[in-house]
Chains A and B, each alone.
Chain A
Amino acid sequence: MKTTRLWIVLMGLLLGSMAQSAGAHGLGKQRLERAEAGPFRVTAWTDPVTIHVEDELHVTIAVEDNEGLVLDADLIVTAVKNSKRISAKATHDRAANKLHYEAPLVFDQTGEWEIVITVENEDGSGIIGFTIDAEAKQSRPPYLWIAGAIVGLLVIGLIVRNRVRHL
């Protein structure tokens, strides 16, 4: 009985994880490609590709100079819309790839936001930006979770039916 319970818990976790597997884990959409910012060249990606109000946007940044990747810079990412400003420090700790910097941003208004990246180290400083559209928050049904739950229920149903038959 103990093993049965363990097995059912494991199956549940397995199915749940399958439903979760479409979660983002890549760089996302490339917004800048080696754009000049003072003495630096900046490449930036944003994830998720479509950003909704109140969702967390990940801005991933790679900084290069003439000698290669720069790993000791201070980076600030600021989102500007009219008089509204949201800032976050981009760090290696937040990035999966430790050669990159990453900053989280959460928008509270729909429309076009300007994303400004400030890079600074002892060799100098530079500023570069791009724009991004924030869409209204969507209450989309969690299709993957629903599909996962249906598969889970079918498996449990099959197990119960099988056991009832052999009582």
Chain B
Amino acid sequence: MDPTLKAFLQSWDLRLDVCIVLLTFGTMYTIGWLRLRGSRLAARWRLASYYAGLVLLALALMSGIDVFQTQLFFIHMIQHLFLVMLAPPLLLWANPMPFLMWALPKPERRLVGRLLTQKAPARKWLVKVTAPAVVWFFYTANLWLWHDPNPYDSAITNDFLHDIEHLTFFLSGMALWWHIIDVSPKFHGRRPYTMRLMLVVMTYFQNLLVGVSLTMSPELIYTHYATVPRIWGLSPERDQMIGGLIMWIPGGMMYLIAFLVLVARLVNYTEHRARLTDQKRLLAAQGTV
């Protein structure tokens, strides 16, 4: 085996904080799933999807991906892909809210329920700060901010800033995919397909712009990578180009898949509505005969 690849596979940074957070959420989801077992909600694929999301987060934050990102830009872009575009949809596909709620003891479950009722101030505040436009703006601003060379180079040499970068990427990804996938809590009612499609398209273009800019840049944008030993004979410029391509193509693919799924669902939904209208008309006509 290639010694660099072997080193990549053997490099782990087992962080106690990350392990505890992932284990806590994994355990809570499992408790909730077991309590709801037997209901239609507690399907096995949901449990698998949630675990897969947690495993991706663990890989992004503790495996060779996290260790090597200080040396290779494209590995850092793979890490961001995991945090923003892969782990959040998997975690949200599992519809975590009801399961995490059911993991709580009854009095605390009621307490959280009360905090989220229609008239509760906490809910009103949450509705405002998680409005689709706010979420999209936060996601976009975050994406551009952390790809600016100054914050980027600062974050890669400062652990605390780097953790903040990853946390904001993950949270903005969760908030965005929460609207796109349309899972609970549904503070904003049922999200219309047009709004969800618009979010996907607008985000796709932001991602595309960053990816293309990095790929096409004739100069090295992130100077940190010129100061560290190179791996696999990749020059910092070539490394930057590969990183940009990763954001551009596999990153764009995630939005393309979401777009196609939403269009297919919209077509089904429209056809279903049309059939219902036809049936109603038919029944109305039969009634008048």
Contact = CB atoms under 8 A, between A and B. Distances in A.
Interface in B144-170: 157-160, 162-163
B239 to A, nearest CB: 15
B227 A10 contact: no
Majority DSSP secondary structure for residues of B touching A? helix
A71 interface: yes
Contacts of B159: 22-26
Interface of B: 3-4, 6-8, 10-13, 15-17, 19-21, 24, 27-28, 31, 67-68, 70-71, 103-105, 107-108, 110-111, 157-160, 162-163, 227-231, 233
A162 B107 contact: yes
Nearest to B12: A96
8 contacts: A3-B31, A4-B105, A7-B105, A25-B15, A29-B157, A43-B227, A99-B11, A166-B110
Contacts of B105: 3-4, 7
Given A25-B13, A41-B229, A159-B111, 18 more contacts: A3-B31, A6-B31, A7-B105, A10-B28, A11-B24, A14-B20, A14-B21, A17-B16, A18-B17, A20-B16, A23-B16, A25-B15, A69-B229, A96-B11, A97-B71, A99-B4, A99-B11, A158-B111
Nearest to A159: B108
- How many A residues touch the partner, as a band? 35 or more
A69 B232 CA distance: 9
A7 B13 contact: no
A62 interface: yes
B28 to A, nearest CB: 7
A33 B226 CA distance: 10
A133 to B, nearest CB: 19
B32 to A, nearest CB: 10
Given A7-B108, A27-B70, A97 B7 contact: yes
Contacts of B4: 69, 99
A96 B13 contact: yes
Contact of B157 (A26, A33, A69, A97): A26
Nearest to A20: B17
A82 interface: no
Given A26-B159, A97-B11, A71 B3 contact: yes
A21 interface: yes
A97 B67 contact: yes
